A and B are shown apart, each in its own frame.
Chain A
Amino acid sequence: MTTIGEALPSDPSLERTRSWGPWQTGLAILRRDLFVTGREFPIFLAQVILQPLFLLFVFGKVLTQLGYARPGYAEVLFPGLVALAAVLTGLQSTALPLVIEFSYSNEIEDRLLAPLPIGGVALEKIVIAAMRGAIAAAVMFPIGVWLLGSIPWTAGAAAGVVAMTLIGALLGASMGLVLGTFVSPNRINVTFALVLTPLLFTGSSQYPWPSLSHIRWFQVVSACNPMTYVSEGLRGLMVPNVPHIQTWVCFAAAIGAWLVLTAIGMIGFLRRARG
């Protein structure tokens, strides 16, 4: 029988471990998450797509066909639902796993003991969650074509749409980092109920923000939800003729909110990760 010691540090192949950098460890952890996401891809898609799919179907197709919504409403709705898919999938991809990994499974410990700064583990969480959010948003496009027949699209806006979608996914991931690290595990269920629904309906995904000028208080509430800037940004890029918040304002507000939430989430993460 071979012994445990045969490949101990005297083994030259293991000496390479010493020149291994934190970035490579971060990438190795990302590979683990990609591996797990990839293996459960159909389940993942079903999880993240059903909500925007039904919203699009009921509000964009059924209500329009029944005549309760105006014919052009689907065009207003679609960019908002892309934003919703990006932000909420990002959020759920950090918040829930963090709550579970920090409390019930302790799974995160092996990564916190890996040779990279603890903040790197949080950054990796944001990156993988943003990737999941971006995938969920991307899948909305073929679904939109299939449900609505066509989606609002201009070739010139492609780069802007991709950038705004990625920012939305990052924003959601950082919101999730804040939730997942500051909310105690036994309150996560009620917190999700209290946070997700308002987030879902105040993020200007179902209505253009400027059209709220007659319901001033709701306009103010919506302006406080960072998702509004992702919805409005995408709307401005995809259906520029609909009144919207100026695109540069949307980018600035979304990036600013992302930075602030990332900083707060990082503090929460370090607090949870270190005794």
Chain B
Amino acid sequence: MTDTGEGAAVEVADLVKRYPKAPVDSVAGITFGVRHGEVFGFLGPNGAGKTTTIGILTTRIRLTGGRARVAGVDVMSDPVGARRLLGVVPQQNNLDRSLSVRQNLLFHASYHGVPRAVRKARADELLAQFGLDDRPDDRPDDFSGGQIQRMMIARALMHAPTVLFLDEPSTGLDPAARLFMWERVAQLKSEGTTVVITTHDMEEATVLSDRVAIIDHGKLLALDAPAALVRDMAGERTLDCTVDPGEAVDLGAVHRELVKLAAVDRVEDLEDPGVAGWRFRVYVQGETAPLVAVVAQAIGDAGGRLTDVRLGEPTLEDVFIHLTGRSLR
């Protein structure tokens, strides 16, 4: 994980950010590289340091230590140069409310020196592509969240950035709008734009990203392709069991019985305050179904009663729980 990816689209080395008066670092020394043309996902819970990292990379937040380069430009020593090459789609609506949708795109391009004729053609093209060409002269106030999101992506693309940063792009979007955004990101990738995206949504990270960095408490815990992260998990498949809490169950005995089995890698308790009862997850090698009877028997022998069983393939969420000991949400 010390590979900063020299010459990569984004290079980050030992990045640290501590806000004034904060007791701990928001970003506590992370190192990674984003390859040209890939979609790079930042996965972590709220407050993990994702947005701070994006803020540093987009020159909006000054780093405390380490270094960060975007498209080969150091964000601390040449923030103006970096801003030329990057595009940002922020979490919150920051569209210019005094301008129409089309003017938002045009003025943004003018700030970046896109020649007049080019920016007009490009604005029309992007408005059409993002389905915004029916009301291009309206102010952005009375559009839906999904449309606002599309406007902000279209605006960020006006100056043809080398690296596009999307901060929590699907937060607050309905499923259709989310799907639309995913399709746009996939298209951008196919056209060669490097995309860095933050999310706390495993599905989004899995679907969109070529590689995912899992971040928590400002530290980088894992970095790989989603499939590889899941494959690296100790168990290939899982069995989630819920046991009736009313009984005097000897949990230790159940644990001991299960891990004796050859097909069982390990057993982990699941913390889920929303569900009554004791929940645990059995990580299994090979087929899970034949194990159900064995598990039920072990619980019965220990004086408990199995009330629910779920068979599952591991997901990024399992990877996250494995790494941090808690759920993503």
Contacts and interface: CB of A to CB of B under 8 A. Distances in A.
Q: Do A and B come from one complex?
A: yes
Interface in A149-196: none
Interface string B179-200: 0000000011001110000000
Interface string B112-152: 11110110011001101100000000000000000000000
A241 interface: no
A14 B113 CA distance: 8
Contacts of A274: 60-62
Nearest to B106: A32
Choose among B59, B113, B193 the residue with the greatest number of A CB atoms under 10 Å from its CB.
Answer: B113
Nearest to A270: B62
Given A7-B121, A113-B83, A106 B92 contact: yes
Contacts of B114: 14, 17
Interface of A: 1-9, 11, 13-14, 16-20, 22, 24-25, 28-29, 31-32, 35-36, 105-107, 109-118, 273-275
Contacts of B99: 32, 36
A107 B107 CA distance: 13
Contacts of A25: 111-113
Contacts of A111: 111
A112 B193 CA distance: 22
A114 B107 CA distance: 11
B80 A107 contact: no
Given A36-B99, A115-B83, 14 more contacts: A3-B129, A7-B160, A8-B160, A13-B117, A14-B118, A16-B115, A17-B114, A28-B113, A29-B111, A106-B90, A111-B111, A113-B83, A116-B80, A275-B61
Interface residues on B, range: 35 or more
10 contacts: A17-B84, A20-B112, A36-B98, A106-B92, A110-B155, A113-B83, A114-B112, A115-B111, A116-B80, A274-B60
A31 B60 CA distance: 23
Contacts of B55: 275
Contact of B191 (A5, A18, A273): A5
B96 interface: yes
A172 to B, nearest CB: 21
B319 to A, nearest CB: 30
A55 to B, nearest CB: 29
Nearest to B87: A113
B152 to A, nearest CB: 9
B192 A8 contact: yes
A109 B60 CA distance: 9
B94 A11 contact: no
Contacts of B118: 7, 11, 13-14
B192 A1 contact: no
B4 interface: no
Given A110-B155, A113-B60, A274-B62, A6 B94 contact: no
A114 B111 contact: yes
Contact of A3 (B80, B121, B159, B191): B191
A14 B93 contact: no
Contacts of B121: 7
B231 to A, nearest CB: 33
Given A36-B99, A105-B94, A9 B60 contact: no
B47 to A, nearest CB: 15
Contacts of A115: 80-81, 83-84, 111-113
Given A17-B112, A24-B113, A25-B113, A107 B157 contact: no
